[in-house]
Structure 1
Amino acid sequence: MTRRPTPKDYINAELQVLGAFSLRYPQVETIMSLPINIPQREIGKTGVKTSVVGLGCMNLAPGVYGKVDDAESIQLLNTALEIGCNFWDTADIYGADGYSERLISKVIKDRRAEVFLATKFAFDVSSGKINGSPEYIAKACAGSLERLGTDYIDLYYMHRMDPSTPIEESVSAMAKLVEEGKVKYLGLSECSAETLRRAHKVHPITAVQIEYSPWTLDIEKNEVLKTCRELGISIVAYSPLGRGFLTGNYRSIDDLEEKDWRRSNPRFKGENFAKNLKLADSIKEVAEKKGVSAAQVTLAWLLAQGDDIFVIPGTRREKYLVDNAASGSLQLSKEDLNQIRTLSEAFQPSGDRYDQYGMDMLNR
């Protein structure tokens, strides 16, 4: 019987093809020959450290970015742990019936202590609305625990804010989960600065998950970043690569799979795609001068914005997982940082982050 390749086999093969000959496993090297040594930072004021480069797991569910292969996804997750990428992020809405959570359960059943696991609630499928009621929160948490096959969640986020339920009521219900030992730390996603302050008065908020990248600098302008720093709350940047756009790997909408949801995203549609390529190409030029990937430069730039920043890029491919992970050890010069800052601030994204339905749920 043919032996199934291990993560070490995969990485060795990548290195041989690209001419990187030194390998000290598990301190592996990436496709761009950078060593992997992912730093760990304290998240919030918890005293707990986790990898600054995490893994977004929405990609592991079918119907989001196209087809998935569960066997490859499981291998991806195991590889993540082998290289020290142990901050995993999922949600009960990622795939039908919590598909992403169920997949993760297959890996963490024997490795739970190795993972700092975050998941999210609020999208009530039964009503089609955002639900932050105490009753729903208790039910949602129980469902996630069952699907994940664990008795605790490290970081539990409210995915979007419920305009019909005061945030104080929602956070009080979340705090009860902490008291019961079902959840360790609390977070909010895409909240306003005012909502964050109100929530933090009820129970300490450990992290805010929010979109942050060179083409989405909103949190620097709407008081969210400032408020997080005032209160000692970490920023967990989702879509840190602009939903893959800033990798430079996509040149037209046709490069996306037929069922990839990004085909309907405003920044990928019509003339917006070509206009937004200008930023991706500019970042790629910086990366090429340094002999690294555009993804690595982008992630390293984000991490350099403060020691309270974490990034959770998603991928279905091991080579990109390994490539992203190496950004944690990439040190950009002051000149590099300033150049990307200048490019980002001068760039005006073409198209909104989401369609109108999605935009209406932000900054509540």
Structure 2
Amino acid sequence: MDITHKGQIALGAMYFGTRQGRDQSFAILDRFAELGGRWLDTANNYSFWEDQTGFGGASERMLGQWFGANPGIREQMWVSTKLGAAPLVAGTWPESMEGLSPAAIEAALAGSLERLGTDHMELLWAHVEDRTVPLNDQVAALGATVADGRVKQLGASNHAVWRLERARATASAQGAEPYSAMQLRHTYLQPIPFADLPDGGHVVATPDALDYARTEDLGFWAYNTLLAGAYARPDRPLPAPYVHSDTELRLAALDRVATSLGATRNQVVLAWLMGGTPAVTPIVGVSSVAQLDEVMASRDLHLDPEALSVLDSVS
């Protein structure tokens, strides 16, 4: 089984338990399972900025409650969660991030497994870099979670490509499990290079990162794929780094393809990501079953050579 399941949509559970209550979260999860979805993506720090306690964990707890309410469903789903970026002191993020020390990794993983109500997870991510901890120690601690069966595979989120390569080389030298997936911010529209994003900690995919994933045959996961609704909703303006002339050309190309295929902008973007090289696993968060149905329909959208030429010829 290809645990990274390249080119498959992952349901983002970021706001389950905070913005989205039990009934709304369960309805989305039920429909996702009904439509054959497999990957559920969360993190131990989701969503501390929405929770009155100032701490994360609500998303994982909601998924755990859904597993508990649906006997047998856990065996049908693959869980992806992240550690390293949770605040240890409410209201002091990022200063109090837990980091990636061996002790922090062990404590975070134990907490995630308890909240999820499971004894293992399919994919564990180092959510952010931690350059205060020797890479040897990080690699050994993460590798140990695979060796003891609590984790199936490891991924690096928001890491520089050179750090990811160094970590993989370190794992090889140690005989430890290496990172086999990488996760970065990526979509059809591209921000101005080197522009500061309004979202702290986000790392944008570069051609170099995509080439590395393709060459090394790594799973490539992308977040913020639909730009928080900006493709579809006029009331959701694009972040400033995405407002430039290339965006106008890309949106025109996107509309041309969407019209010709009878699809939505969102569906074309997701089909383009999943059908690319490397094949991307887009993480998509939704707030309703109707939005989920639109998103999942992109799996059946075929972009022929003409459509791809229109989309890829924009420069």
TM band (smaller chain): 0.7 to 0.9
Match of 2:212 in 1: 227
1:75–1:305 CA distance, 2 compared to 1 (3 A): same
Write out per-residue CA displacement over residues 149-188 of structure 1, whole angstroms, 9 at most, x where no aligned residue.
1110110000000121133321210111112211111000
Could you tell me the percent identity over the aligned residues?
Answer: 27
1:58 aligns with 2:14: yes
Superposed displacement of residue 285, structure 1: 3.8
Where does the alignment leave 5 or more consecutive residues of structure 1 unmatched? 1-40, 254-261, 347-364
Match of 2:272 in 1: 301
The code of the aligned residue for 2:26 comes to I
The code of the aligned residue for 1:205 comes to Y
1:169 aligns with 2:129: no
Per mean C-alpha deviation after superposition, the further-off stretch among 51-60 and 291-300 is 51-60
- CA RMSD after TM alignment: 2.5
Superposed displacement of residue 267, structure 1: 5.0
Per mean C-alpha deviation after superposition, the further-off stretch among 110-119 and 308-317 is 308-317
Match of 2:258 among 264, 269, 287: 287
The code of the aligned residue for 2:87 comes to V
1:214 aligns with 2:188: yes
Q: Hey, what's the Cα distance between the residues in 1 that align with 2:3 and 2:114?
A: 25
Superposed displacement of residue 250, structure 1: 3.0
Match of 2:52 in 1: none
1:273–1:82 CA distance, 2 compared to 1 (3 A): farther
Match of 2:101 in 1: 133
Matches within 5 A, 1:142-161: 142-161=110-129
Match of 1:118 in 2: 80
1:267–1:59 CA distance, 2 compared to 1 (3 A): farther
Match of 2:234 among 250, 263, 277: 250
Superposed displacement of residue 284, structure 1: 3.1
How many residues are aligned here? 281
Would you say the 8 A contact 1:245–1:280 is kept in 2? no
1:103 aligns with 2:71: no
Where does the alignment leave 5 or more consecutive residues of structure 2 unmatched? 48-54, 89-94, 172-176, 192-203
Would you say the 8 A contact 2:6–2:220 is kept in 1? no
Q: Hey, what's the Cα distance between the residues in 2 that align with 1:130 and 1:317?
A: 32
Match of 2:292 in 1: 321
Would you say the 8 A contact 2:6–2:281 is kept in 1? no
Match of 1:79 among 20, 25, 31: 31
1:71–1:235 CA distance, 2 compared to 1 (3 A): same
- Report the 3-state secondary structure (helix = DSSP H, G, I; strand = E; otherwise coil) of the residue aligned with 2:79: strand
Q: Hey, what's the Cα distance between the residues in 2 that align with 1:58 and 1:311?
A: 14
Would you say the 8 A contact 2:214–2:278 is kept in 1? no
1:266–1:307 CA distance, 2 compared to 1 (3 A): closer
The code of the aligned residue for 1:144 comes to S
1:251–1:283 CA distance, 2 compared to 1 (3 A): farther
TM-score by length of 1: 0.71
Would you say the 8 A contact 1:174–1:186 is kept in 2? yes
1:312 aligns with 2:286: no
Superposed displacement of residue 215, structure 1: 1.7
Superposed displacement of residue 68, structure 1: 2.3
